Amino acid sequence: MFTNNTIIRVRYSETDRMGYSYYGNYATYFEVARVEALRSLGINYKTLEDEGILLPVVEYSIRFIKPAFYDDELLIRTIIPTRPTVRARFEYETLRGEQLLNKAWTELVFFDKISEKPVRCPLHLEKLLSPFFPT
Amino acid sequence: MFTNNTIIRVRYSETDRMGYSYYGNYATYFEVARVEALRSLGINYKTLEDEGILLPVVEYSIRFIKPAFYDDELLIRTIIPTRPTVRARFEYETLRGEQLLNKAWTELVFFDKISEKPVRCPLHLEKLLSPFFPT
Amino acid sequence: MFTNNTIIRVRYSETDRMGYSYYGNYATYFEVARVEALRSLGINYKTLEDEGILLPVVEYSIRFIKPAFYDDELLIRTIIPTRPTVRARFEYETLRGEQLLNKAWTELVFFDKISEKPVRCPLHLEKLLSPFFPT
Amino acid sequence: MFTNNTIIRVRYSETDRMGYSYYGNYATYFEVARVEALRSLGINYKTLEDEGILLPVVEYSIRFIKPAFYDDELLIRTIIPTRPTVRARFEYETLRGEQLLNKAWTELVFFDKISEKPVRCPLHLEKLLSPFFPT
C-alpha cells in the first residue's frame, strides 16, 4: 500500500451559493492529489503524458459525509491499495482536521497515445511502486 | 420511472490538454440536467432552495466509456428510477448521437436549511412525480 | 458592425458563496457567446482550430455593474465593431431582461499553429464578415 | 506600495485543448493571490466577509503575453499600489521563472452586506496597510 498526503485550500471560485465547495470540485482535488502522490514517488505525470502514456479516469465514485467551506485547508490522503497493472486504483479521503469529509476512489487506465490502446503500467513506475507492495 | 433529456454543448473552458471534456465536468452537466428535469415537472430548484429545502449530493458515481470533445452536443438523459423519500436517486446517461459516453448516478438528500436535518421530499414535488410511479 | 445574441443560464457550479455568478465565469460566457456569434455566420470555430488557426485572447477587460444570480437567464450581446485583420475585437454586454449587468471586450489574434506566428484573418471569414463592414 | 508573492501550480482541469491554462482561470489565480496577500498582512478575507464586508470586483483587465502550461509553477506578484479608500486596486504579474506571462489589475469595492452600500476600507485593514503608504 502506498499513501501520500496533499493539502488543498478551498478557493472562492470553488464555493457555491450553499457556501459549500461545489461537489464537482473533488474530481479536481483528487487529480491534484494523485499527481502529487506520483511526484512524491519521483514520477512527473506531465512527462509521462508527454512520453505518450495517458492515464484517463474510467471510474470515479464519491461518498460525501460533510461539506467543505471557503478557505478550509483540506488534507487529501491518496492511497494506492494494489499494484497497478493495466489499471491503477487510487483511493482518497478528504479530511479537515480530524473530520472525515468524504471518501472516494478512481480507476484509471494506462493508455498509449499512438496505438490508442490500453497498455501495462510503465516499468519505471512499477519499479518505484514495488517496495510498497511486497509479495 | 421519470425520464428527461437535456442538451449540453461542451465549452472550450471545459476541455483539457488531452482534448477531452475534463472528467470532473460531468458533475456540473448532471446538475444542470437534474435541474432541467425538475423544471420539466414544474419544479424550480432555485425556488425550492429559497424556500429552505436544499438538495445536496451525498453519493456520486460515474463509469466512463468514451470521452466527449470540444463543441460536442451531448444529450444527458436523466432518470428518476424510484419515488423519492428522504433521499432521491437520479441516474444519468450521456450520449453523443447513438454513442453512450458514460453512465452515472447520484443520491441526494432533502435537507432543511433551518433545522439542518434531512426531511421528506416536499409534498408538491411528491404529487408531481406521483403519476410516474403508479403502484 | 456585426451583432449576435446568445442566451446563457447561470449554473449552480458557477455561483459563489456571495450567491453571485463568480466574476471569473464571464470569460467562459463570452467565449461561448463568441463561438455562437461565429457559428451564426457559418464559421465553426472548432473546424478553424482543426485547420490550424488558433484564436487566443490577448487582452480582456470587464466592468461589472450588477451581479448575476443562480438560474438567471442572461443574454450576451456580442459585437464585432471593426473588420478583423491580424487581430479581432469582440465587445460584449451581459443583460438580464432590461438590466445591463456588465460590459466587456476581448482582443484576439489569429495564430498559425504550425508557424507559431500571427496571421491575417482567414479569407473565408473575412468574406462572411464583409457585408457587415461596408466601406 | 505593498507587494506579495504567491505560487500557483497549473492544474490539469485548468488546461484547455490548446494545452494552455484557459484564459479565464487567471481571475481565480488572482483571487487566490489577493487573499494570500491579505493573509500575509494578517487579514483573513473569510473573516472580513463573515463580519459583513464583501469585496466584489468591479473592474478586471488582463493583457496576455505568453501562455502557461500544465504543471507550470507560476509566481503571482500582487501589488497594492495605492492606499485603499472605498475602492481598492490590486495589480498582478504572472511569472514563470524570469518570463512575464501576463499583467492584470482589478478594482474592488468595500461593500456592506446589510446596507448593500459601498463603505470605507475597514479601519484595521487601513492600519495594517498604513506602513506601506507613508505620506
| Chain C interface includes B126 (CB < 8 A) | no
Chain D: give the shortest CA distance to residue C63, in Å. 4
State yes or no: ipTM above 0.85: yes
Q: What is the pLDDT of residue B77?
A: 98
Q: What is the pLDDT of residue B134?
A: 87
CATH of the domain at D125: 3.10.129.10
pLDDT, chain B, mean:
96
Consecutive H or E run containing C123: helix C123-129
Chain B residue with CA closest to D20: the answer is B17
- Give the start-end residues of each E strand in chain C: 2-9, 53-54, 57-64, 73-80, 87-96, 99-109, 111-112, 117-118
- Among B39, B70, B72, B106, pick the best mutation site for testing chain C contact (most C Cβ within 10 A): B70
Confidence category of residue C111, pLDDT binned at 50, 70, 90: very high
Where in the sequence is the domain holding D23, given as residue range(s)? 2-132
Region A102-116: mean pLDDT is 96
The shortest CB-CB distance from D31 to any of A11, A31, A45 is to: A11
| Chain A interface includes C15 (CB < 8 A) | yes
| Chain B interface includes A103 (CB < 8 A) | no
Of B28, D12, B79, D54, the closest CA to residue A45 belongs to D12
Q: What is the pLDDT of residue C135?
A: 75
Amino acid letter, B35? V
Q: What is the per-residue pLDDT across C62-72, written as a single tens digit (0 to 9) for each?
A: 999 999 999 99
Q: What is the pLDDT of residue C81?
A: 97
Letter string b/e over residues B68-92, b meaning 16 or more CB atoms within 10 A of that residue's CB: bebbbebebbbbbeebbeeebbbbb
| Chain C interface includes B31 (CB < 8 A) | yes
Asked if pLDDT for residue C134 goes beyond 90, the answer is: no
Q: What is the per-residue pLDDT across C15-65, written as a single tens digit (0 to 9) for each?
A: 999 999 999 999 999 999 999 999 999 999 999 999 999 999 999 999 999
Q: What is the pLDDT of residue D135?
A: 75
pLDDT, chain A, mean:
96
The shortest CB-CB distance from A13 to any of C12, C22, C70 is to: C22
Q: What is the per-residue pLDDT across A59-91, written as a single tens digit (0 to 9) for each?
A: 999 999 999 999 999 999 999 999 999 999 999
Q: What is the per-residue pLDDT across B36-71, written as a single tens digit (0 to 9) for each?
A: 999 999 999 999 999 999 999 999 999 999 999 999
| Chain A interface includes D51 (CB < 8 A) | no
CB–CB of B133/B82 below 8 Å? Answer: yes
Q: Where are the alpha helices (DSSP H) in chain A?
A: 26-41, 45-50, 123-129
Q: What is the pLDDT of residue A86?
A: 97
In DSSP terms, which residues pair with A74 in a beta bridge? A8
Asked if pLDDT for residue B111 goes beyond 80, the answer is: yes
Chain A: give the shortest CA distance to residue C43, in Å. 30
Amino acid letter, D86? V
Q: What is the per-residue pLDDT across B72-98, written as a single tens digit (0 to 9) for each?
A: 999 999 999 999 999 999 999 999 999
Subunits with 3+ C-beta pairs closer than 8 A to D: A, B, C
Chain C residue with CA closest to D66: the answer is C58
Total structural domains within chain D: 1
Q: Is the pTM of this model over 0.95?
A: yes
Q: Taking CB atoms and an 8 Å limit, are D71 and A11 in contact across chains?
A: no
Q: What is the pLDDT of residue C112?
A: 95
Q: Which pLDDT tens digits describe chain D residue by residue (135 residues)?
A: 999 999 999 999 999 999 999 999 999 999 999 999 999 999 999 999 999 999 999 999 999 999 999 999 999 999 999 999 999 999 999 999 999 999 999 999 999 999 999 999 999 999 999 999 987
Confidence category of residue A3, pLDDT binned at 50, 70, 90: very high
- D22 CB neighbours in chain C (<8 A) are 27
Q: What is the pLDDT of residue C106?
A: 98
Asked if pLDDT for residue B135 goes beyond 80, the answer is: no
Residue A86 cell numbers, joined: 493495466
